[in-house]
Structure 1
Amino acid sequence: MTVIQDEYVGQTITFHCEYDDKFKSHTKVFYRLKEGPVHVLNSSQSSQSSEEKIILSDSHEDQFTVTIRDISADDGGVYLCGVERYGSDPSITHISFIKEIQLNVYSRNASVQVQAYSSKSVFITCKFPQEFRRNKKFIQKDSSQKIIVDEQNQWVRHDKVHMYDDSSEGLLKVFISDLTAADEGTYRCGVNITDDDLFTDVKLTVNQVDHFRASSKASAVIGESVKLTCDFPEKHGETFKHICRENEQKICENISSSEQKRFEFSVSSAGVFTAIISNVSERDAGVYWCGAETRDTHLTSVSLTNQHQLTVTMPPVVGREGDSSEIKCPYNAKHSREVKHLCKGKCFTKDAQNIIRSNEVNKPRISAKDETELNLFTVTLSELRAEDAGIYWCAVRDEFNLHTELMIVMKDAVTREASVGGSVSISCQFFRNHMRFFCRGDQLNICVRDGVRVSSNKRTNGRFSVTDETSAGVFTVNITDLTEEDSGKYWCAEESSGSFIFTEVHLRVIGETTSSYTERETSQDKEKSETTSSYTERETSQDKEKSGSSMIVAVSVGLILLAVCLVLVLLKIKYNRKHGIGSSTPAQLPIIPSDGLLCTSVSFQKHEESLSDAALAFSNEEIHSDYTTVIYHIVPNSF
């Protein structure tokens, strides 16, 4: 068992440690945790000096007592009472601990320094002994009159100072917001007791200059995570990081222990840390403060430096023209029996349009159901139109409001195809003369958040540009120098106060692939080769025809000359016979170079490009393959 004991410096305290009757003759021991076995007392000792600080006394019946005299702040800690047990091995000591004691030692007049910052807030928690948890607490600034906290377990306000007397924990919480130089001073945080007051002096300093970032606004979608960035003085780098949420009285209270597991802290740089809230729910909406926490024996102080306004929304709902969509409204179990509202615009404001209530019958195109066992109010909108786009609010009375966006996608999509290096024009219809933009992304919320290329406010962006034809209700987006990476899904969008209307666009950019280019190149080469081959064949045929004609002419001339020569030879033979001239002694007559020359040398030379190597050769003595020589000796005649 564990016992908490609160005492003051200088007092004497006695612990009672009960044990089973079977241990009455056993040795009793007293230990202090974390400090080692500082006090090991043997109850079998016959006596102990009354001058010793720690005295152990055993009644040998059902308990032994431990007395600590003149306690100091250093005596605070955890102690253990126990008895020795006998084991089989006498060299080993076995101890059974029967009680744990948490000793808290307080000074009657403690003093703590607390630093805060102008226009920020500070949260101070004062601790008192448990025996005084029911006593009235007070705050006293400098020498002014005490401010008594008359009510327990609720916040009480006095000017700028808020106080909370936590009777279950024996704590007094003090919260001071919107700090100014006038708030500096010494605050006495105390408890009334019979003979005297027990208090801690809090010396508050308000720094007029800070370098912390201004208040910020953040938005989170239910089920997702959100990151809050916080500052703290670098000299407090070793202190605890702290985050709290304002309640309805705008007092920043600690996050409950059941929720703390969803909060994660990490230091990103010197003087800066982040608080990440995971699995966000509707109850996380509100104002948060974060800062550095400093702990003292009697007091914990938090200097709050950053304020964050966190808005929680439901995931956006996307509906297509002509189809149906559901808007789901979760609510707290405490509202299960109350009327739920769905409004276009924030409910209970003059501009809000009531869509349907949980206690109404269904309307044309609108139906609703309230599933109290699931704490869920669901509204179905059917036959969706462009004008249905907008922000819808779920509400229970005026204390619970949660909103979502209904985005409408038009039925007809736009498809375009273009070539690499070229350009394309994409025209989209708009319904109202509001801001228009063109973005890229498969998901609409990502497209709106991260994929905007051009808009009514930014008409050119690199290769993208937009023009309006207001009279025709059309805006046109031009994209130049297209690449294959430009292929994908785009959206033409129109937005007015959170009302989004989209037209889906599919762009396909076609490029010349290597294979098709090679095929065309091969085809061209083939055609070129066929052309060259045809040309060569025609050229060869012409050469053949030319060569053949030359050969025919040459042969014809040769044959004519041969015939003439043969006639001359026959005439010569006849002449010789008539005059009795023998052939054995031929006369060597000179050749007449002019009119006497009837037949001399005929040579048929081989043509280099001739298709045939054949040649005609006539000679009385020789036949040559390359040419033929015919020689006749002619005598002059009378004619």
Structure 2
Amino acid sequence: PVSSTLYGPSFLAGGVGGSVTHQCFYSTTPANRHDRKYWCKVGRGGVCSTIISTTGYTSKDHQGRVALQDIPQNGTFIVTMAKLAKSDAGIYRCGIGSTNRDLFAYLNLTVSADAGTVGTTQLVQGELHGSIMVLCSPGDTQSSQKRFWCKVVRASCLLVADSHGYVAKSHQGRVSITPQGSSGASKILMNDLKKEDSGLYRCGTGRLNSWGSPQLVALQVTTASTLPRRPKFLTGTVGGSLPIKCHHDPKRSYEKKYLCRWKAGSCSLLLDLDGFVDESYKGRAQIGSSDQEPGTYTVVLSQLREEDAGWYWCGARSRHTEHTAPLKLLIQKG
């Protein structure tokens, strides 16, 4: 039972005498930002006893070994528990509200003699209709293994995309997963963001259900977006030509602006503004006139063929981020 406006990892592991840090993510509505945040443990009869809250309360048994930090501008609060004992294992809730029955997410904490390594959760924020980039660390697996990106739903993880060409129906044309060299790392790009994309994700290598030490990513889609909703479908005619207008932030400087062809979870570079044109598009893909409004560039595709139909991405990459936007090209016979 993870609420659409409050979520966090469902499992946490720590070692006896060690510490754990748990992050809870919430949508940044005014009410959520200012309301009481709490961390409680579920006991017999389902009653959740408060361990710590932002009102200044800390339970007697946890004095000096628990802390709660609320970061309302990021929509997250962080609970750290130290000097762990076996008796700390159990079901917890992190939540928001005046009682412990309001908005919350469950967490199962296990405490063992040897907990191994526990990954941290990365917070990624994107705007409605916008895009995000996530870099997944290689972990400790071989680079030849399949990379995956999945969304955590209760105790399972629903596959969104993998590096062998699988893409979930709900993400066709709007997610790519690209291995980065031979290190085992990968880059995830996701665009045309929707409210329901908010939530917890895992990325990793190998089999989806082998937990290992996958990277956890909390995606927050902010709905107070300034991004306009642009048309996603363009129609051309066999033998004709078609201008594709791409948009980017005019205030940012980008190392590369490009158009790529999306198929089965990867996007092959078709053309960039540095002069590269893919062999199969030479003579029929070019950059439009340079006299364009700030924050845009136009790619003109000519001598259109039926096989040109499909998904394309406009992209703009800087050192720290990459913005992408999808377009679907429909081709009619002349």
TM-score when scaled to structure 1? 0.22
Pair member with larger Rg: 1
- Structure with greater strand share of residues: 2
- Structure with greater helix share of residues: 1
